[in-house]
């Protein structure tokens, strides 16, 4: 019997996901290595938060049609991540590839209305709310660039692993994944999914709320130890601390500032940004 190709023999762009085993623990687990999932891993990675990605598919291909044109807002994000030039340098469809869109009642049915294809270079149709310009690149190009970037950043991306179950307690989530080839199960422990429930759902204790506000109290040694656990600290250029000025009297407030300046900040290797001088009147 003749083997029929899904693409009619045409060459299509296929991106292979890495065959890595997912890590046992991670701060942010992203399920799905489509352009959205990979972008969702790029963002926390840029902020020093450890992310990992799993996808049940082993490859992404243009056989499963996807994005072709990207809005100026999407282009702004690519620039922010430092990935715009890499996406621009990647291949794109030949100019004759997109011949317009037709709205029909079925593949063999009646045409409803003609939908002319907007030009990607026509400034008249470009948005007036962004400095970016719409970009035309296949979805797999985004995935290739994101995958290369994540590999360079040491982020684990595992193709062939399907999420089957999520279990959570107040602080963490256990994601059950299965190797789609061998059926081997694996548990990935990830930090709390704040986006799903909101950062401050009802019933949180005061300690947990303070932790989520990145507020610490106690002896300076305890505050130094707690701040030392903050994941963004090693990559933060500045450390801005403040105390709660509502409760203590003037002397206690000055003492709190003094402790931050003389004990907490130096213990974390931080120096004052400049000499503190009282602002002159009228400045
Ligand atoms: C014909 C067509 C044309 C389009 N044109 C455009 C366009 O021009 N511009 C544009 O911006 N958008 C366009 N889109 C839309 C765009 O393709 C989608 O918005 C985009 O693919 C969504 O990305 P995603 O990462 O959310 O999802 P997907 O790309 O669908 O990725 C989801 C991934 O999750 C994985 N997954 C799902 N469940 C599990 C699980 N349980 N465990 C592990 N992995 C799992 C899947 O295998 C998949 O790889 C088009 C879509 C189509 C179909």
What pLDDT digit, counting tens, does each position of 211-222 carry? 777 888 889 999
Predicted pLDDT at 199: 63
| Residue nearest atom 34 in ligand 1 by C-alpha distance | 32
Decide: helix, strand or coil at residue 201: coil
Mutate to test the pocket of ligand 1, among 22, 67, 164 (most ligand atoms within 8 A of CB): 67
- Strand positions, DSSP E, the chain: 14-16, 25-26, 28-31, 51-55, 59-61, 69-70, 101-104, 111-115, 135-136, 156-159, 161-168, 172-179, 185-191
**What is the distance in A from the centroid of ligand 1 to the CA of 36?**
8
- Axis crossing angle, helix 35-46 with helix 139-152, rounded to the nearest 10: 30
The atom number, within ligand 1, closest to the CA of 35 reads 25
The atom number, within ligand 1, closest to the CA of 139 reads 17
**What is the distance in A from the centroid of ligand 1 to the CA of 15?**
14
Residue 282 has pLDDT above 50, yes or no: no
> Predicted confidence band at 283 (pLDDT cuts at 50, 70, 90)?
very low
Residue 66 has pLDDT above 80, yes or no: no
* Domain positions in the chain: 14-94+120-196, 214-267
Decide: helix, strand or coil at residue 211: helix
Predicted pLDDT at 181: 96
Better pLDDT: 221 or 193: 221
For 14-94+120-196, CATH gives 3.50.50.60
Kindly list the protein residues whose Cβ atom lies closer than 6 A to any atom of ligand 1: 31-37, 54-57, 65-70, 139, 162-163
What's the predicted TM-score (pTM) here? 0.66
The number of beta carbons lying within 10 Å of the beta carbon of residue 223 is 20
Residue 144 has pLDDT above 80, yes or no: yes
Predicted pLDDT at 238: 76
Mutate to test the pocket of ligand 1, among 14, 54, 139 (most ligand atoms within 8 A of CB): 139
> Predicted confidence band at 210 (pLDDT cuts at 50, 70, 90)?
confident
> Predicted confidence band at 193 (pLDDT cuts at 50, 70, 90)?
low
Residue count (the chain): 283
Predicted pLDDT at 24: 95
**What is the distance in A from the centroid of ligand 1 to the CA of 65?**
9
Predicted pLDDT at 4: 66
What pLDDT digit, counting tens, does each position of 88-102 carry? 999 887 666 666 677
Phi, psi of 253 (to 5 degrees): -65, -45
């Amino acid at each position: 019997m003749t083997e029929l190709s899904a693409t009619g023999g045409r060459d299509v762009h296929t991106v292979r996901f890495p065959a890595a085993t997912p890590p046992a623990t991670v701060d942010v687990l992203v399920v799905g290595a489509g352009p959205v999932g990979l972008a969702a891993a790029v963002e926390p990675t840029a902020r020093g938060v450890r992310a990992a990605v799993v996808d049940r598919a082993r490859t992404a291909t243009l056989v499963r049609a996807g994005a072709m044109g990207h809005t100026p807002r999407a282009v702004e994000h690519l620039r922010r991540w430092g990935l715009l030039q890499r996406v621009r340098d990647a291949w794109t469809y030949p100019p004759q590839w997109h011949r317009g869109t037709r709205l029909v009642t079925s593949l063999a049915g009646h045409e409803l209305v003609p939908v002319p294809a907007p030009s990607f270079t026509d400034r008249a149709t470009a948005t007036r709310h962004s400095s970016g310009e719409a970009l035309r690149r296949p979805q797999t190009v985004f995935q290739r660039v994101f995958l290369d970037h994540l590999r360079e950043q040491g982020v684990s991306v595992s193709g062939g692993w399907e999420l089957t179950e999520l279990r959570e307690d107040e602080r963490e989530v256990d994601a059950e994944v299965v190797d789609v080839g061998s059926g081997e199960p694996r548990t990935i422990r990830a930090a709390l999914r704040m986006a799903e429930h909101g950062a401050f759902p009802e019933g949180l204790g005061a300690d947990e709320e303070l932790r989520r506000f990145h507020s610490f109290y106690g002896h300076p040694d305890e505050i130094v130890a707690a701040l030392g656990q903050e994941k963004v600290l090693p990559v933060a250029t500045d450390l801005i601390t403040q105390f709660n000025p509502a409760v203590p009297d003037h002397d206690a407030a000055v003492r709190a500032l003094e402790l931050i300046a003389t004990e907490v900040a130096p213990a974390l290797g931080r120096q004052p940004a400049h000499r503190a001088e009282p602002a002159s009147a009228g400045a």
